[in-house]
Structure 1
Amino acid sequence: MASFQKYTTKDGVRWMYKYYSTIDPATGKRKQSTKRGFKTKKEAQLDASRTEQEIADGTFITEDKVTTFEQVYHQWYETISSTYKPSTKKAVISKFKKRILPHFGNLKMKDITKSYCQEVINKIAKEIKSVENTKMYINQIFEYAIKMDIITSNPLKGVIIPKKNEAFVVDHYDEDRNYWEKSEIKKFLEIVKRECSMRDYMMFHLLIYTGGRKGEVLALRWKDIDFKTKTIHFHKTLFYEKGQYVSLTSKTAASRRFISLDDTTAGLLKKYRTGQSGASVVHLHSKDNEMVFTREDGSPLRLAYPNDKLDEIIESHDLHPITVHGLRHTHASLLFEAGASIKEVQERLGHSDIKMTMNIYTHVTRTVKEQTASRFEKFMEK
């Protein structure tokens, strides 16, 4: 029979219970164990009932199988990491080290409760926006532990991601938007053309006019651009690891795509190519394996360079602040404004999941919203 006791932590009052599990072969007596971290006595009683039932059914996880969350994580990572690209490995390790292990690392898997998981998700949700992705990785550890017979149930199941207050506030439109209107784009490109190098102007022009990801644009080689068909082939992304830059194949099939170029962009690329090589337009296909955007010594641009340059221009000219990824959202917004369908935008941006496109669609420009209202008004007038 379990006994219950409350205790105080820095987060408030918690409950624990003591119970007797399996028989110790050395003494012939049942081992006494403790499970803690419950917000209420009722939660502790319900968990104790499950534990006692598992002991009776013979499905209880014995002490010799007790493993910490971090130990399971390392075993899981060793098993799954062979399927990851270097960039994904780096991102996963960083996420666990920064966001997940500080909360779960030293805890025994069997002692992690649903209420504790909810507390952690609540805390993470206050710190970052992409809590869904973090929750997904935590869930993978628990599901792996179940497969390995370390635990019998997933304490993360049923845990809710809290909604932020901003989700109910509608008057923060301008401050929160991470894209530019058409007039802001024109102003920005005029500034870049006037004050920056042709390389930087071409780089920002491509980011805005193709919707390419930063890593995709920086990984471009001249052989990826077909001036006859006016297309650009995005199929690699630039990645920095262990002191060197490498081009990695795009993560998904949807990301490996051909983008059609407008006449202005194709013309600018020809002009930039000619100026870069000193050759005539007739010889545009010489040195096709060279990278489009490089430093003076021919090495790839730093991955942070577009970010730093964009921030510098925004600050010096008091422009509406957006990120480099916001230029990609800008492209999508203008496509919607021009009348493109969600499916067309999805394919152009290389989204494997249409939900990602839909998320951008919900943040389209004021112009689109005004056009929608105008179309409705005209329809009602007929």
Structure 2
Amino acid sequence: MTTTKRRGNGEGSWKKLGTNKWKVTISVGVDINGKQVRKTKTGTKQECMKWFKSNQEISNNDYFYDYAMKWLEFKKNSLAPSTYRNTRTRIKLISDINNFQMNKCSDNTIMLIVNELVATKSKATIVVTISVLNQVLRFARDRGVINFIPYIPKIRTLPIKKKIDIPSIKKIKEVLLLAKFIGGHLYLCILLGFLAGLRIGEILALQKGDIDFEQSTITINKTLTMDENYKTYIKEGTKTNNSNRTIYVNNRILSEVKLYFDDKKFKKNRYLPHESKKVSMFFKQAGFENFTAHSTRHVFITLAQEYGISPVFVSQYVGHKTNSTTISVYTHMPIDKQNQKLDEFVYQFLD
């Protein structure tokens, strides 16, 4: 039995292959050369119907938000949950400014969005939002929904360096002592952030088996993250391949970490979704302005280099792909201290 109809984008043909087994073919538009693109699914009627509905291509009469969300669903399986969430937020931002009809997109449509972003958002937000807009428009162009991509101004991407005031060693000691008094997740995050440069997600994903007390090492190969529905879970692998690492950690630090893992009350319900906010609140109450859990990583990297540890070693230790990231984004050594070190170097050659 065959049921076939000529249909437009988002529709297709159904063919019954046997008892409760179907094959459905759906048109998803045209490629860049104008050739029609189809997708096929074989399975039970229920499976095919579910797939059919999830893969229906929206028409060129639809508005940006609907079209962009369909595009995002097509990409979902290839995106990390955090990337999916962030992209969804950027789609919403664009549609809040101008939820235009796809087949009426023009240069003026895009400039209205860009001008509003420039007037109200930071450069970092502008760059990533325009990137999403560009990807959606290319997707629409390749499938014949729009005939051309309107002009989108290029905004140069620069390393984003947030200014962080590096606290003194004395101040860090005071904060560590206060955090130790509070204990639990808070102390673990601040201890391993300040003294090992770990990301908070890496810290909260640690298991006791990741720590080798004989070799004085910690293996970092997981991270705590959230799915698209903001549910917390442990993901195998860290932020990048370079971030999967085994690092030496001083035994005095490891003895503190061991106490944490031996405390039975922290073995349950460890993976808390808002732990980073609690750390930020702690720093605010301790008098650290604009300080977050991730700021401790910046402090570790800066002070380690200031102490004389090689930037190359520091870069590998914290899991950066390149030394330039370590130096240009994470190092906050004041210019007067750098001048002082330069003087000390130069004076060796002078009488």
**What's the counterpart of residue 311 of structure 1?**
281
CA distance in 2, matches of 1:91, 1:245: 16
**Superposed, which structure 2 residues align to 1:79-228 within 5 Å?**
79-97=74-92, 99-108=93-102, 110-113=104-107, 115-126=111-122, 129-155=124-150, 157-160=152-155, 176-177=163-164, 179-193=166-180, 195-197=181-183, 200-228=186-214
> TM-score under structure 1 normalisation?
0.64
**What's the counterpart of residue 76 of structure 1?**
71
SS in 2 for 1:228: coil
Code of the residue aligned with 2:129 in structure 1: it is T
Bigger Rg, which one: 1
C-alpha contact (below 8 Å) 1:231/1:260 kept by paired residues: yes
Question: Structure 1 residues 105, 181: closer, same or farther in 2, change over 3 A?
Answer: farther
Give CA-to-partner distance per residue, 1:280-315, whole Å, 9 cap, x none. Answer: xxxxxxxxxxxxxxx657112423234324423532
C-alpha contact (below 8 Å) 2:216/2:248 kept by paired residues: yes
Question: Structure 1 residues 321, 78: closer, same or farther in 2, change over 3 A?
Answer: closer
CA distance in 2, matches of 1:154, 1:342: 43
Question: Structure 1 residues 92, 304: closer, same or farther in 2, change over 3 A?
Answer: same
CA distance in 1, matches of 2:132, 2:348: 48
C-alpha contact (below 8 Å) 2:188/2:203 kept by paired residues: no
CA distance in 1, matches of 2:165, 2:134: 30
Question: Structure 1 residues 117, 298: closer, same or farther in 2, change over 3 A?
Answer: same
C-alpha contact (below 8 Å) 1:181/1:330 kept by paired residues: no
Choose from 208, 214, 219 the match for 1:233.
Answer: 219
**Superposed, which structure 2 residues align to 1:5-44 within 5 Å?**
none
**What's the counterpart of residue 37 of structure 2?**
none
1:137 Cα deviation from its structure 2 partner: 1.8
Code of the residue aligned with 2:272 in structure 1: it is R
1:232 Cα deviation from its structure 2 partner: 1.1
> What is the root-mean-square deviation in Å for CA atoms of aligned residues?
3.4
Q: Does 1:363 align with 2:332?
A: yes
Question: Structure 1 residues 102, 207: closer, same or farther in 2, change over 3 A?
Answer: same
CA distance in 2, matches of 1:156, 1:226: 56
C-alpha contact (below 8 Å) 1:178/1:323 kept by paired residues: no
CA distance in 1, matches of 2:91, 2:290: 30
CA distance in 1, matches of 2:166, 2:91: 30
**Superposed, which structure 2 residues align to 1:347-358 within 5 Å?**
347-352=316-321, 355-358=324-327
Unaligned runs of 5+ in 1: 1-63, 168-172, 278-294
Code of the residue aligned with 1:204 in structure 2: it is I
Aligned residue pairs: how many?
288
C-alpha contact (below 8 Å) 1:230/1:261 kept by paired residues: yes
1:324 Cα deviation from its structure 2 partner: 1.1
**Superposed, which structure 2 residues align to 1:316-327 within 5 Å?**
317-327=286-296
CA distance in 1, matches of 2:301, 2:173: 16
Question: Structure 1 residues 244, 139: closer, same or farther in 2, change over 3 A?
Answer: closer
CA distance in 2, matches of 1:354, 1:76: 36
C-alpha contact (below 8 Å) 1:235/1:257 kept by paired residues: yes
Which deviates further from its counterpart, 369-378 or 69-78? 369-378
Question: Structure 1 residues 218, 198: closer, same or farther in 2, change over 3 A?
Answer: closer
Code of the residue aligned with 2:308 in structure 1: it is G
CA distance in 2, matches of 1:226, 1:192: 24
CA distance in 1, matches of 2:95, 2:319: 32
1:82 Cα deviation from its structure 2 partner: 0.9
Code of the residue aligned with 1:106 in structure 2: it is F
Question: Structure 1 residues 364, 272: closer, same or farther in 2, change over 3 A?
Answer: same
Code of the residue aligned with 2:102 in structure 1: it is K
Identity of aligned residues (%): 22
C-alpha contact (below 8 Å) 2:63/2:99 kept by paired residues: yes
C-alpha contact (below 8 Å) 1:239/1:247 kept by paired residues: yes
**What's the counterpart of residue 55 of structure 1?**
none
Q: Does 1:245 align with 2:232?
A: yes
Q: Does 1:335 align with 2:304?
A: yes
C-alpha contact (below 8 Å) 2:232/2:273 kept by paired residues: no
Give CA-to-partner distance per residue, 1:309-359, whole Å, 9 cap, x none. Answer: 4423532x4344411111111111112212334433332222345553243
C-alpha contact (below 8 Å) 2:127/2:155 kept by paired residues: no
C-alpha contact (below 8 Å) 1:178/1:329 kept by paired residues: no
Unaligned runs of 5+ in 2: 1-58
CA distance in 1, matches of 2:186, 2:329: 26
**What's the counterpart of residue 267 of structure 1?**
255
CA distance in 2, matches of 1:151, 1:355: 40
SS in 1 for 2:242: coil
Question: Structure 1 residues 222, 346: closer, same or farther in 2, change over 3 A?
Answer: same
